[in-house]
Amino acid sequence: MERVLLDEKAVERSISRITLEILEKNQGSKSLSLIGIRTRGVFLAKRICDKISAVESRQMPLGVLDITMYRDDIATLKAPEVKKTDIPFNVNDMTIVLIDDVLHTGRTTRAAIDAIMDLGRPTRIQLAVLVDRGQRELPIQPDYTGIYYTAAPEEEVFVRLREIDGKDEVVLTARL
Amino acid sequence: MSWTHKDLLGVRELSREEILFLLDTADSFRDISRRDIKKVPTLRGKTVITLFYEPSTRTRVSFEIAAKRLSADAVNISTASSSVVKGESLVDTGRNLQSMRPDVIVIRHSMPGAPHMLSRILDCSIINAGDGAHEHPTQALLDLFTIREKKETVDGLKIAIIGDIAHSRVARSNIFALKKFDTEITCCAPLTMLPPGLASLGVKVTDRLDEAVADKDVIMMLRIQKERGGTSYIPSIREYASLYCLNEEHVGRARKDVIIMHPGPMNRGVEISDAVADGPYSVILDQVENGVAVRMAILYLLSGGES
């Protein structure tokens, strides 16, 4: 059983609003850079990057982060696949907006912050997510949120994006 | 895919898919060595022991650096300064080390099968860092990584392996690994250094260097294994060098974009000339850099948990 939280148009509107909020909060795109967390955060980051680049008429620095090496549960997992991290710019003195699809426990965000700190010393790190589903296990809050929905523990929130899933939507399913 | 092996004893038992998965993983780990902060917390709390019964510079340091860059604790034992000189057997040394609860033991031994024996009696993961003239899996994997990096693919390549094939674990592991891909391998050495049955591994065999290098994409040079009696198979080092030392003229017979490899240590002027070792086609130092990344990937994959 699936319930749609955001349809295609709503996803697009959320991304547009987050883009404008990022520009508003940082008063433009100076020393701003975006880092998408694999897998779906990368596609969201690319879309936000394109929108900002169009408005600000400059190419935004865009990075891709794989947090596998920084997971806190790696000792219990069977060596999850490590993918490439590609951050082709210096993070020092940058304002970095981390972009992920779903914010849940906050553990992925913690790993991502640690991974970026190992690359240098950014001025600040902000967090943008398409869905905040609550149930945090760490003291982490997003700066930009597409939709806030308090999901029950047995519910799962999936973000689908046209780049890999064929269409844009955010759906809720009950775990069996 | 997920990794299912507890140990890395040889490349022979790895599938093509597993090798490619390992190389992809190594590709991600290589970037860590190129940053300012060359450390990730991935293997925090894990202990890696390197147990070397034979001399080594590259392999031992490479494993130690790989472990440390993943935040594992690395402990090195060289047998010359250990209880081995007091007469302790390999099995007893292994059991005693196990009692200190390491997660991985990296072993190099002059006896073929020594790592295999340890893997049967110990619970921790065992990595073969060279067992006699049998296998040296991490060398073959880093060679494959380097070939793939320079040539984009391993398939379709013509490769020459030249030198003391009979006593070389590097040659054996590389043949096992390269035969899992669509490659054409030519082994070249004096007849006394070509082991019987070599052709049954599916490789071409010749004793003529100019024939071996012709039209090749990759040339791998090997040193004479003096510690395994290699010099007794040739009349003299000088005669060997006059016939089998790779020089620029030989390189000119290969493909224009040939790469020259050597697992080290090199004996300059014996199997390889200075001009070739330091020349534009040499990827020998790239092999060393890639060795750290490949060993990080192996330590990572072997250290995975249960679920």
- Checking if the pLDDT of B94 tops 70, the result is yes
B181: containing domain: 137-285
Q: Is residue B2 part of a domain?
A: no
- Checking if the pLDDT of A166 tops 80, the result is yes
Q: Is residue B231 part of a domain?
A: yes
Average pLDDT of chain A, as a whole number: 95
* Nearest CA-CA partner of A37 in A130, A121, A133: A130
Q: Region B57-70: what's the mean pLDDT?
A: 96
Query: Quick one: B94 and B228 in the same domain?
Result: no
For residue A156, how many other CB atoms are within 10 A of its CB? 16
CB contact under 8 A, B40 and A70: yes
Rounded to the nearest 5 degrees, what angle is found at the Cα of A8, between the Cα atoms of A5 and A11? 65
Query: Quick one: B121 and B236 in the same domain?
Result: no
Q: Is residue B118 part of a domain?
A: yes
Q: Is residue B249 part of a domain?
A: yes
- Whether B286 contacts A55, CB under 8 Å: no
**Tokens 């972009």 — which residue?**
A99
Which residue of A82, A117, A119 to mutate against B (max B Cβ within 10 Å)? Answer: A82
- Whether A106 contacts A140, CB under 8 Å: yes
For residue B164, how many other CB atoms are within 10 A of its CB? 27
Q: Region A37-60: what's the mean pLDDT?
A: 94
Q: Region B55-60: what's the mean pLDDT?
A: 92
Q: Region B18-30: what's the mean pLDDT?
A: 96
ipTM field: 0.87
Option in A69, A76, A84 nearest B40 (CB): A69
3-class DSSP string for chain B: CCCCCCCECCCCCCCHHHHHHHHHHHHHHHHHHHCCCCCCCCCCCCEEEEEECCCCCHHHHHHHHHHHHCCCEEEEEEHHHCHHHHCCCHHHHHHHHHHCCCCEEEEEECCCCHHHHHHHHCCCEEEEEEECCCECHHHHHHHHHHHHHHHCCCCCCEEEEECCHHHCHHHHHHHHHHCCCCCEEEEECCHHHCCCCHHHHCCEEECCHHHHHCCCCEEEECCCCHHHCHHHHCCCHHHHHHHHCECHHHHHHCCCCCEEECCCCCCECCCECHHHHCCCCECHHHHHHHHHHHHHHHHHHHCCCCC
Give the C-alpha separation, B26 to B245, whole Å: 33
Give the C-alpha separation, A33 to B61, whole Å: 37
Query: Quick one: B131 and B142 in the same domain?
Result: no
Q: How would you classify the pairing of strands B47-52 and B104-109?
A: parallel
Residue B306: its pLDDT value, please? 67
Q: Region A79-88: what's the mean pLDDT?
A: 94
- What residues have CB less than 8 Å from A2, skipping those under 6 apart? A171, A172, A173
- Checking if the pLDDT of A30 tops 70, the result is yes
CB contact under 8 A, B31 and A85: yes
- Checking if the pLDDT of A66 tops 70, the result is yes
Query: Quick one: B165 and B275 in the same domain?
Result: yes
Q: Which residue of B has its CA nearest to A111?
A: B41
Which residue of B37, B42, B296, B303 to mutate against A (max A Cβ within 10 Å)? Answer: B42
Q: How would you classify the pairing of strands A155-160 and A169-174?
A: antiparallel
Q: Is residue B7 part of a domain?
A: no
Query: Quick one: B74 and B114 in the same domain?
Result: yes
Of all residues in chain B, the percent with pLDDT exceeding 90 is 90
CATH of the domain at B193: 3.40.50.1370
How many domains, in total, are found in chain B? 2
- Checking if the pLDDT of B22 tops 70, the result is yes
Give the C-alpha separation, A93 to A32, whole Å: 9
- Rounded to a whole number of angstroms, the distance from the CA of B267 to the nearest CA of chain A is 37
| 8-state DSSP, A31 | T
Supply A61's token pair. Answer: 């620095």
- Checking if the pLDDT of B256 tops 70, the result is yes
Query: Quick one: B149 and B260 in the same domain?
Result: yes
Rounded to the nearest 5 degrees, what angle is found at the Cα of A115, between the Cα atoms of A33 and B19? 110
Query: Quick one: B20 and B91 in the same domain?
Result: yes
Query: Quick one: B175 and B232 in the same domain?
Result: yes
Confidence band, pLDDT 50/70/90 cuts, at residue A176: low
Query: Quick one: B144 and B198 in the same domain?
Result: yes
Residue B60: its pLDDT value, please? 96
CB contact under 8 A, B45 and A75: yes
pLDDT tens digit sequence for B205-255: 999 999 999 999 999 999 998 888 888 899 999 999 999 999 999 999 999
| A36: β partners | A64, A99
- Checking if the pLDDT of B307 tops 70, the result is no
Query: Quick one: B161 and B235 in the same domain?
Result: yes
Query: Quick one: B27 and B79 in the same domain?
Result: yes
pLDDT tens digit sequence for B1-16: 888 999 999 999 999 9
Confidence band, pLDDT 50/70/90 cuts, at residue A118: very high
**How far is it between the farthest Cα atoms of chain A?**
48
Which residue of A71, A72, A73, A81 to mutate against B (max B Cβ within 10 Å)? Answer: A81
Q: Is residue B199 part of a domain?
A: yes
Q: Is residue B293 part of a domain?
A: yes
Query: Quick one: B114 and B141 in the same domain?
Result: no
Option in B32, B35, B300 nearest A79 (CB): B300
- Checking if the pLDDT of A63 tops 80, the result is yes
Single-letter amino acid, residue B238: R
CB contact under 8 A, A84 and B304: no
Chain B residues in contact with A80 by the CB 8 A cut-off are 304
Give the C-alpha separation, B142 to B299, whole Å: 14
Residue B258: its pLDDT value, please? 98
pLDDT tens digit sequence for A94-114: 999 999 999 999 999 999 999
Q: Is residue B6 part of a domain?
A: no
